[in-house]
Amino acid sequence: MDGCIFCKIVSGEIPSFKILETDKCIAILDINPANPGHTLVISKEHFDNVYSIDDDVLSDMILVAKKIARRLKERFECKGVNIIMNNEKIAGQIIPHAHIHVIPRFDDDKVIITYAKKQMAKEQFAEIAKRLSEEEHIEQKGDESTPKENIKEEWVFR
């Protein structure tokens, strides 16, 4: 996509330290790492975020993230790893091209990835669980006279 930094990194127009590559994504070092070894797994094709990315691309990316996590553990002896995907501005996504962060963690590294833990009533949990567990259903657009092949299917979230 025109003007997208990560598309330019994928095409090689902007240089990067590339770690590995598949037919669907690349893994590069983050230019401003939280810790040494902080890696970004970036889709080769431009997708904005988790909502629009193809399933097979995302599946490939998470497996690459796993591979990087293992390498960081084995080769840099990190004590753990945060695997994060920010989606949309409010969630901290600065570059609107789908990517997964793999951040190695070390003792006393001063990296802060946290949130205030909320208290909620059992009823609230129950209501949220109910809404999230309901299956999407397909609403048929059209009527009896509409030929079947012309009926538009639409995902509707209740």
Contact footprint for ligand 5GP (CB under 6 A): 5, 14, 16, 28-32, 40, 86, 92-95
Size of the site for Zn ion (CB under 5 A): 6
Other Cβ atoms closer than 10 A to 31: 12
Identity of the residue numbered 86: N
**Candidate ranges 44-52, 66-74, 107-115, 116-124; the one touching Zn ion (CB under 5 A):** 44-52
- Counting Cα atoms < 13 Å in the Cβ hemisphere of 154 gives 10
Q: Which of the following is catalytic: 38, 46, 97, 99?
A: 99
Q: What torsion, rounded to 10 degrees, do the Cα atoms 144, 146, 149, 155 define? A: -80
Q: Tell me the C-alpha distance between 155 and 8, whole Å.
A: 34
Our finding on whether 1 is near Zn ion (CB under 5 A) is: yes
Contact of 98 with 43, CB cutoff 8 Å: yes
Has 97 been annotated as catalytic?
Answer: no
Q: How far is the CB of 27 from ligand 5GP (least distance, A)?
A: 11
Q: How far is the CB of 5 from ligand 5GP (least distance, A)?
A: 5
Our finding on whether 7 is near Zn ion (CB under 5 A) is: yes
Q: Of Zn ion, ligand 5GP, none, which one does residue 4 interact with (CB within 5 to 8 Å by kind)?
A: Zn ion
**Who's near 95: CB < 8 A, 6+ residues apart?**
4, 5, 6
Scanning residues 105 to 134, which ones bind Zn ion (CB under 5 A)?
A: none
Q: How far is the CB of 96 from Zn ion (least distance, A)?
A: 8
Our CB check for Zn ion shows the closer of 14 and 151 to be 14
Q: Is 67 helix (H, G, I), strand (E, B) or coil?
A: helix
Q: How far is the CB of 53 from ligand 5GP (least distance, A)?
A: 14
**Who's near 146: CB < 8 A, 6+ residues apart?**
none
Residues classed as catalytic:
99
